[in-house]
Amino acid sequence: MKTKMKLVTTILLTLFLLLCTITPVYASDTSRSSIVMDLDSGRILYSKNAKEKRLIASTTKILTAIVVLENSELNKEVEIGEEILTMYGTNIYIEVGEKLKIKDLLYGLLLRSGNDAAVALAVAVSGTEEEFVKLMNEKAQEIGMKNSSFANPHGLDEETKNYSTAYDMALLSKYAYQNKTYRKIVKTKEYTLETGEKTYLWYNRNKLLNSYEFCTGGKNGYTPAAGKTLVTTASKNGLNLTIVTLDDGNEYETHEELYESIFNQYQTYQIIDKNNFAIDKQFYDGTPYIKKSFSYPLTEEEKEQVKTVVKITNSKTNKVGEILIYLENEKIGEIPIYNKAEKEKESFFTKIKNLFT
């Protein structure tokens, strides 16, 4: 009996250690929901309860900023209206009648998490906060944030509430990261503004910018109902990541430790190089080319498990096939192959003839 019990215990322990090896467990992750996503490929490198809906507090303002950036001019001047008078919590303390540029309000929104800046921007872009919220939800659906809903541009949740998931917020962070102006603002540590009436000095509330050298930006948030929320980005050795944590009392420690763990495990490898692509003439007698290269984050072990398959499907059109990229049996990428049409060389006599026709 003792021998059997010992055998069972050994088997269970072995299975546990195997599972821990396959799915890393991060004891330092104290959030209720979290995710690590590669910003370039969208690959999820770690997650915990990533598709559970939660209140997201001021990380809402990432979407607010993107909607503003895509629907307004940075140098447009805005006269602040009475909509700011209902705002509380974190404000930049702009005043009714004061004039600021859209760009300056965005810095106040993203660095200091100004709720007054959020409603001022919403009214400046759409006329009313309600109309602006419609744009927010439309953009969220366009990005692929299927489990998110927005009711205001600031994230306060006593009257109206914004819900999302760690996964959806990672999609938003990935999308926002493509916008150069957004990237510039969220990595700014301090910003000074003189309006003629007042001088503002705003420090970025994202503490990770100062505590972690590889951090490139992000947005924090907090309400009593949502807890502490944080969306950040970081880059190291060509690997660009975003982390989202929802309801985490140790959010900055969680982000830094997750970043370090993932950076130590993964590296971005170029699998297909568009400048060094060719197909053996015995398989395709044309001039094939591809428009983009393909890179992917992999562990050292996974690097050996990548394979590519070239399929030629139609040699009579511009697109003649595709390259399929697999990690073990999972397709991780697909690149179209095109044929470079070569112009027929005109003979000297043909050129002369064309001059008279």
Distance CA 332, CA 167 (A): 18
Whether residue 250 is found in the same domain as residue 331: no
Whether residue 83 is found in the same domain as residue 231: yes
Whether residue 353 lies inside any domain: the answer is no
* The domain boundary residue, chosen from 265, 283, 300: 265
Whether residue 1 lies inside any domain: the answer is no
pLDDT of residue 190: 97
Whether residue 45 is found in the same domain as residue 90: yes
Query: pLDDT digit of tens for each residue in the chain (357 aa)?
Result: 444 444 444 444 444 444 443 345 465 899 999 999 999 999 999 999 999 999 999 999 999 999 999 999 999 999 999 999 999 999 999 999 999 999 999 999 999 999 999 999 999 999 999 999 999 999 999 999 999 999 999 999 999 999 999 999 999 999 999 999 999 999 999 999 998 879 999 999 999 999 999 999 999 999 999 999 999 999 999 999 999 999 999 999 999 999 999 999 999 999 999 999 888 887 777 888 999 999 999 999 999 999 999 998 866 678 889 999 999 999 999 999 998 875 444 455 555 555 555
* Six-digit token string for 328: 């073990």
Tally of domains within the chain: 2
pLDDT of residue 197: 78
pLDDT of residue 313: 83
Measured in whole angstroms, how far is the alpha carbon of residue 25 from the centre of its chain? 23
The CATH number given to whatever domain includes residue 197 is 3.40.710.10
Whether residue 161 lies inside any domain: the answer is yes
Among residues 58, 72, 126, 148, the one annotated as catalytic is 58
Whether residue 5 lies inside any domain: the answer is no
Whether residue 285 is found in the same domain as residue 149: no
Whether residue 352 lies inside any domain: the answer is no
Whether residue 226 is found in the same domain as residue 303: no
Whether residue 13 lies inside any domain: the answer is no
- Supply the range of the domain harboring residue 89: 24-265
31 is catalytic: no
What pTM was computed for the model? 0.86
Whether residue 118 is found in the same domain as residue 204: yes
Query: Secondary structure of 200-237 in the HEC alphabet?
Result: EEEECCCCHHHHCCCEEEEEEEEECCCEEEEEEEEEEC
Whether residue 44 is found in the same domain as residue 176: yes
Place of tokens 């944080």: 230
Measured in whole angstroms, how far is the alpha carbon of residue 324 from the centre of its chain? 24
Among residues 31, 33, 34, 61, the one annotated as catalytic is 61
Whether residue 225 is found in the same domain as residue 301: no
pLDDT of residue 121: 98
Whether residue 216 is found in the same domain as residue 322: no
pLDDT of residue 21: 39
* Six-digit token string for 163: 């819900």
**Residue 244, beta-bridge partner list:** 35, 231
Whether residue 2 lies inside any domain: the answer is no
The CATH number given to whatever domain includes residue 288 is 2.30.140.30
Comparing CA positions, the residue from 119, 89, 85, 88 lying closest to residue 105 is 119
pLDDT of residue 195: 87
Whether residue 138 lies inside any domain: the answer is yes
* The domain boundary residue, chosen from 265, 298, 320: 265
Whether residue 251 is found in the same domain as residue 273: no
* The domain boundary residue, chosen from 235, 265, 295: 265
Whether residue 30 is found in the same domain as residue 141: yes
Among residues 34, 72, 113, 173, the one annotated as catalytic is 113
Whether residue 139 is found in the same domain as residue 281: no
* Six-digit token string for 12: 């269970």
347 is catalytic: no
The number of C-alpha atoms within 13 Å of 198 and in the hemisphere containing its C-beta is 13
> DSSP assignment, residue 96?
T
**Residue 333, beta-bridge partner list:** 325
